[in-house]
Structure 1
Amino acid sequence: MLLATDALWRDGALLRNMGLEITAGRVSDIRPLGTDTPDLHAALVAPLFTDLQVNGGGGVMVNGQPNADGLRAIAAAHRRCGTGTILPTVITDSHDVIEAAAEAALETRGEPGLAGLHIEGPHIAPERRGTHDASKIRPLDEKTVILVERLRGAGLPVMITLAPELADPALLDRLVASKAVVSAGHTKATAEETRAALKRGLSCFTHLYNAMPPMTSREPGVLGAALNSHAHAGIIVDGIHVSWDMVRIALRARPAPGLTFAVSDAMATVGGPDHFTLYGQTITVRDNALINAEGSLAGAHIDLVRTLANLVRHVGLPLSEALAMVSDTPRKVIGLPAPALHIGCALTDLNILTEEFDTLDIA
């Protein structure tokens, strides 16, 4: 079977009018389409995407089921939605829960779709906690540092989100030395405090705008320092957490391309039911937003394919820039090679999409 493509994402470049020969469910040839008559037509073909902030999926939350089967279920749900690699994210909780998630990450090391672990909290600013449980927030401690060092020693990618202004400098230095991705989030840091952390090795920012003080004319704060830095930064592009205008502003403000990547911040409802339980509260989807009992946002109900569509349609990015934000850039952040689309590649490892960014059924 010959599949014609308007756009093909391969090796960090967008190729036009290419053809894929498909044999027994795998790519057997990649070539310019020429004058051949295709059997099917796709608007876009790209390797499955990579998401560095996935709290849950398929009805499962990392915090609620911090074991190997829980991580596998979440990865499977996101794979069905077009994301082939995730960084399961355990949010603020007891050390036992975070340690269990780390053990699960170690147990599933090397399994398809599971890259490592993102520890978001509990070492955050209470004033910027969002939906995180205030009773479980605590200063950065040696227990967490030892856990991160153990994961890194096993070769697993680790991202840890914390409030840098509250972190003990010696412990922060150990996290940096472990080569974990130390990311500022749920923070009230000033611009000066943020720049000091960047000098110590802070290398990323978690969901730009959200759980950060707003910028003002006299106080750029952590957000202003983040935008002006050469550090990587994630951003949620669902039109709810951040308006389209503010996404545009953030992307234009960065000093170089390839610094900002998209995250879903997905919860259990992605590929699952329309509600779940977190910290004993029922979180429900309302108008595509996840709302907790306090009426606050509690994560996001979106996947990266919908995120890609939003980046192109609502933010107005060229397709190549939008694709990098859901594939190549996040993989670079955690030290993974760029996604591969090669001869022999299974169709199940590809996003094959229509003009409406829906999955094209080629069975």
Structure 2
Amino acid sequence: MSDAIKGNILTPAGWIHGELTFDERIAAIIGSSVDPALNEEVYILPGFIDLHVHGGGGKDVMEGGDAVHTIAAIHAKHGTTSMLATTMTAPPEDIDLALRGIGKAATARGKGEARVLGAHLEGPYINSGKLGAQPPYARSATLADVEKLEELAPLRVITVAPEIDGHQALVKELSDAGMRVQVGHTLGTYEDGLAALEQGARSFTHLFNAMPGLHHREPGMVGAALAHATYAELIPDLLHVHPGAIRTALRCIPNLYCVTDSTSATGMPDGEYMLGRHKVMKCMGGVRLPDGTLAGSTLTMDQALRNLVGLGLDLADASARVSTYAADYLGLQERGRLAPGAFADFVVLDRDLKLKAVYIEGELL
């Protein structure tokens, strides 16, 4: 027997005031068009989709084993209904360990956990001169290297520095194989970025961070993204990117989507935590290396939504940027939207945009 919930429901066709019936998937949405500002009922939005998650609840993806299950449960409590567990640049044995854990978690969703869709391989195929908070184990790649890792876990997204010798060809090979390639942790030029897009790269990893910035005579990798990208990920914790730069990206990149880049410190008190092989310190809402470099975040997707609305986005637009566009980027038509046949992944928010309930594939957390 199907369950049902009532309120202001955000559908692909707009807001509907009515009832959503569901079991594992959405059975029906019945109601009439509404301006949700005209009543005081709850908002029902698509569940959040986070394509860049390193940790949470004191656990780091690079630990392997069952760490991903703890991470998926912590983020589910903040409205994330599906996610990509994200690796760090590390020695091969560390990456293998992490991917085995991700591969196991991706085969079955535990009770109270976000769906782990697979892995985002953020390292090691990056530029050693633009590590950011990545440990110093960057190396170049071949298709054979990636195919070996693909045996351990589904690689849904791979971050690549395209200026490294051989990597432009790799971008094309990976793209032709159906993987989503992102440009990131790069010292590449505007021309390198444009070439990568022409070879099949689809997005940019944490836009503005760990890449050359925009200059009017040297547009850099940021310039390539702003001028040509349809998709890019961005960390809207208001520490990684200035609100003015966020607004610039929103005007330029149609399907800009948000990620947390969250670490093991997410949901935990201030103190010392691990990010891959790095020790990092959480203090005053930020996570940093000992030299002060930002090292991921403690952002959650419900706060990302509130931050976007605080910057002036309407709720429907903000919702798309924490859910629908990420699903579209991965080619997932059954997630990131409230429509009959889609998975019953949704969040219920009060009028202050605080979470009241989270449903993942029909399960109420």
- TM-score bracket for this pair, using the shorter chain length: 0.7 to 0.9
After TM superposition, give the deviation of residue 43 of structure 1 in Å.
3.5
Q: Is the 8 A contact 1:53 1:87 kept in 2?
A: yes
- Partner residue of 1:294 out of 264, 272, 291: 291
Q: Structure 1 residue aligned with 2:352, among 351, 356, 363?
A: 356
User: CA-to-partner distance for each residue in 1:143-187, whole Å, 9 max, x for gaps?
Assistant: 632235546xx8x35211121101414433332222111110011
Residue in structure 1 matched with residue 317 of structure 2 by the alignment: 321
Identical-pair percentage: 32
Aligned to 1:160: 158
Partner of 1:43: 42
Quote the Cα distance in structure 2 between the aligned partners of 1:118 and 1:292: 22
Alignment check: 8 A CA contact 1:145 1:171 kept: no
Q: 1:114 aligns with which of 113, 116, 125?
A: 116
Q: For the residues of structure 1 that align with 2:179 and 2:357, how far apart are their CA atoms?
A: 39
TM-score under structure 2 length normalisation: 0.84
1:9 matched to 2:38? The reply is: no
Residues 210-249 of structure 1: matches in 2 within 5 Å? Answer: 210-249=209-248
The secondary structure found in structure 1 opposite 2:84 is strand
Structure 2: distance between partners of 1:180 and 1:25:
27
Deviation readout 1:318-343 (Å, 9 max, x if unpaired): 22111111111101111212335468
Q: Deviations over 1:87-114 (max 9, x none)?
A: 0000111111212222233323342311
SS at match of 1:327: helix
Call closer, same or farther: CA 1:142–1:21 in 2, change over 3 Å. closer
CA distance 1:25–1:127, shift in 2 (3 Å): closer
Work out whether 1:130 is the aligned partner of 2:108: no
- The Cα shift of 1:27 comes to 8.3
Code of the residue aligned with 2:126 in structure 1: it is I
Q: What is aligned with 1:66?
A: 64
> Aligned equivalents of 1:312 and 1:219: distance in 2?
32
State the 1:311 CA deviation.
0.8
Q: What is the TM-score of this pair, normalised by structure 1?
A: 0.85
**Deviation string, structure 1 residues 262-292 (Cα, Å, up to 9, x no partner):** 1111111223443412355432222211122
Work out the number of aligned pairs and report it.
Answer: 344
Judge which range, 137-146 or 230-239, deviates more. 137-146
> Could you tell me how far apart the structure 2 residues matched to 1:142 and 1:346 are?
33
Greater than 4 Å deviation, 4+ residue runs? 1-4, 21-30, 342-347
Distance between the aligned counterparts of 1:13 and 1:72, measured in 2?
34
Change (3 A) 1:239 1:344: same
Q: Distance in 1 between matches of 2:123 and 2:106?
A: 22
Which residue of the partner structure matches residue 179 of structure 2? Answer: 180
Q: Confirm or deny that 1:52 pairs with 2:48.
A: no
Distance 1:98 1:309 in 2: 34
Alpha-carbon displacement from aligned partner over 1:284-320 (angstroms, at most 9, x marks no partner): 2222111221111010111111101111112x11221
Determine if contact 2:58/2:266 at 8 Å carries over to the other structure: yes
Separation in 2, partners of 1:222, 1:346: 36
Aligned CA distance change for structure 1 residues 194 and 26 (closer, same or farther; 3 Å): closer
Q: 1:181 to 1:277 in 2, by over 3 A?
A: same
Contact 1:304-1:326 at 8 Å conserved across structures: yes
Q: What is aligned with 2:87?
A: 90
Partner residue of 1:306?
A: 303
- Contact 1:99 1:147 survives alignment (8 Å): no
Amino acid aligned to 1:162: V
Query: AA paired with 1:177?
Result: D
Change (3 A) 1:146 1:27: closer
Partner of 1:103: 100
User: SS of the residue aligned with 2:116?
Assistant: coil
Is the CA contact (8 Å cut-off) linking 1:20 and 1:28 kept in structure 2? Answer: no
2:141 is matched with which residue?
140
Unaligned runs of 5+ in 2: 34-38, 110-114, 359-363
Contact kept in structure 2, 1:148 and 1:180, CA below 8 Å: no
Residue 219 of structure 1: CA displacement? 0.5
- Structure 1's unaligned 5+ residue stretches are 35-39
Q: Deviations over 1:114-158 (max 9, x none)?
A: 101001111212222111112x1222245632235546xx8x352
Alpha-carbon distance between aligned partners in 2 of 1:224 and 1:346, rounded to the nearest angstrom: 37
What's the offset of the Cα at 1:350?
2.6
Contact (CA 8 Å) 2:135, 2:278: kept in 1 or not? Answer: no
Which residue type is aligned with residue 15 of structure 1? W
